[in-house]
Structure 1
Amino acid sequence: MADYVQTGSVRPAAGDRPDAVARLDETAEALTDLHAALTGEESLDDALQRVAELAIRAVPDADAVTVSVVTSEQSHTAAATDRALVKLEDAQYSAGRGPCLESARTLTPVRAVIGEHEDQWPEFETAAAAAGVRAYLSVPVILPASDDAEARHLGTLTIYSQTAAAFDPFDEGLLRLFTTAACATITNAQRWTRSRDQVKHLERAIESRAVIEQAKGVLMAVHACTADEAFRILVEQSQRANTKLRDVAGQLLESLKRS
């Protein structure tokens, strides 16, 4: 497990942290609430925001939480309990380096105190110090491998604290446990979003078919032609006007209403 703590770190001994059992209880309560709130109808944005809001309860001294979606094309902060930290993460994306990007790249946790990586991530360190951040912990959210798919990186969850002594290896384990459970929420939201989009697409297709059929009926009555001939008239008009077939049919019906 990556720790990234340098010699001379201001991080205290593990005994100075809150009782391990109490910390585990806090995480267990957050996981219970995460599971209880799991629904079959939730957008991905809403799910990620809920994960962030519950993650802040999973680890003591966590003052803010962000969820970053990191891809080869683009990275962005999809959820945050404190919108001011979006600017902090934007500093990472612009520079192409920082703890959440490192966690996404290596698929391992990154935990450190501000000041420990000034040479490695100067842009992030400067922005974090200005925002009052003193410690952070980034953990990848990974969908486990299955029989028909490889493990997939879904995002990176980062907790921030204004206390330099905030996080230790036990907290790292707790957050990894939380992110494992959060995968269910995220994948459920992704499925619901895909299903919703498919339904909308089907509804639009059905609606378009109905409009086109009505327009064909009008043309058949006006020109005393067959259904195929009426459809060909619509297609030719669509091509001439460089307009979608449904829009041509809709315009024809609208013109009849106005006449």
Structure 2
Amino acid sequence: MLVSIEDRVPASQLDEASEALEELAGVLAEEQTLDDVLHQLAESASRVIPDAENVSVTVVGPDGATTAAATDRKVVAIDTDQYAAGNGPCLQAAKTHRPVRATAEGGREKWPEFAAAAEKAGVRAYLSAPLVVEGDVLGALNLYSSVEAAFDPFDEALLRLFTTASAAAITGFRRYERTRGLVDNLERALASRGEIEQAKGVLMAAHGISDAEAFQRLVEESQTHNTKLRVVARNLLDSVRKT
């Protein structure tokens, strides 16, 4: 006979999970920093997933993996040692795009650094699920328990909900950063254009030359001194203001 999740799990547990996900929806809709959002995700996962005593969020960036959020600093070393060693259940989950469950006892041979750090922190069971969006690995969501038998299929099902929310948060933040970078570049370009136009005007008035000739002088100065054109223009304007 098939047994549904509702039959195995108290209604209060399901209600709490539903409330936590509603809270997360509100957090993701607000303008918060990525750290704030990921910490909220970690706290919610720790509260809702039955066996998760602590939770951390691994973010994989151009410079490697880092722990962006954790419910307790004592478990951060477990992930940090994996990053330094270049292997462990956390990194395997990110690499294979599949959840990985490990124990300190069972991981001694395969992941000695992970096993040593886990035992030191009193962690007996560890479950890591990848954060992946359209094939792009963003990191992993990691659960810790002091009970070796912890983490069953229901825990994994709940964990997938939180990995989806975490991946959405990281993706949204990175998209915002790229957009903000483009806007900043545009603003700098517009400011530089204004300074260059002013510098051209100064040269035209001082030497009785054309717009094109004034611009060519600025370009030659830039090339001679290996200095950006906007810096040449700004220096010229500064010198005029001081006289």
Query: Is the structural similarity TM-score above 0.5?
Result: yes
**Equivalent AA in structure 1 for residue 65 of structure 2:** S
Asked if 1:98 corresponds to 2:82, the answer is no
- Residues 84-121 of structure 1, C-alpha deviations (whole Å, 9 max, x = no match): 43332221122121011111111111123321111000
**Equivalent AA in structure 1 for residue 169 of structure 2:** T
CA contact (8 A) 1:85 1:131 kept: yes
Query: Aligned pairs, how many?
Result: 236
The equivalent position to 2:170 in structure 1, one of 175, 178, 186, is 186
1:215 match: 199
Counterparts in 2 of 1:72 and 1:186: CA distance versus 1, 3 Å: closer
The equivalent position to 2:20 in structure 1, one of 30, 33, 49, is 30
- Residues 149-198 of structure 1, C-alpha deviations (whole Å, 9 max, x = no match): x4332221112223434422211111012212333333222222221111
CA contact (8 A) 1:44 1:190 kept: no
- Residues 13-69 of structure 1, C-alpha deviations (whole Å, 9 max, x = no match): xxxxx9454433332222111101123644544443443333222313423222223
| Partner Cα distance (2:211, 2:31) in 1 | 41
1:87 match: 77
The equivalent position to 2:137 in structure 1, one of 123, 148, 153, is 153
CA contact (8 A) 1:219 1:230 kept: yes
SS in 1 for 2:28: coil
Worse-matched range after superposition: 187-196 or 203-212: 187-196
**Equivalent AA in structure 2 for residue 175 of structure 1:** L
Counterparts in 2 of 1:234 and 1:243: CA distance versus 1, 3 Å: same
Structure 2: which 5+ runs fail to align? 1-7
**Where do residues 46-65 of structure 1 align in structure 2 (5 Å cutoff)?**
46-65=36-55
TM-score normalised by the chain length of structure 2: 0.86
Asked if 1:245 corresponds to 2:235, the answer is no
Asked if 1:235 corresponds to 2:195, the answer is no
What is the aligned-residue identity percentage? 53
Deviation at 1:211, TM superposition (A): 1.2
| Partner Cα distance (1:248, 1:84) in 2 | 52
Structure 1: which 5+ runs fail to align? 1-17, 144-149
TM-score normalised by the chain length of structure 1: 0.81
Q: Over aligned residue pairs, what C-alpha RMSD do you find?
A: 2.3
SS in 1 for 2:98: coil
Higher helix share: 2
| Partner Cα distance (1:21, 1:142) in 2 | 30
Counterparts in 2 of 1:167 and 1:68: CA distance versus 1, 3 Å: same
Which structure has more relative contact order (CA 8 Å, sep 6+)? It is 1
**Where do residues 36-47 of structure 1 align in structure 2 (5 Å cutoff)?**
36-39=26-29, 41-47=31-37
Worse-matched range after superposition: 206-215 or 69-78: 69-78
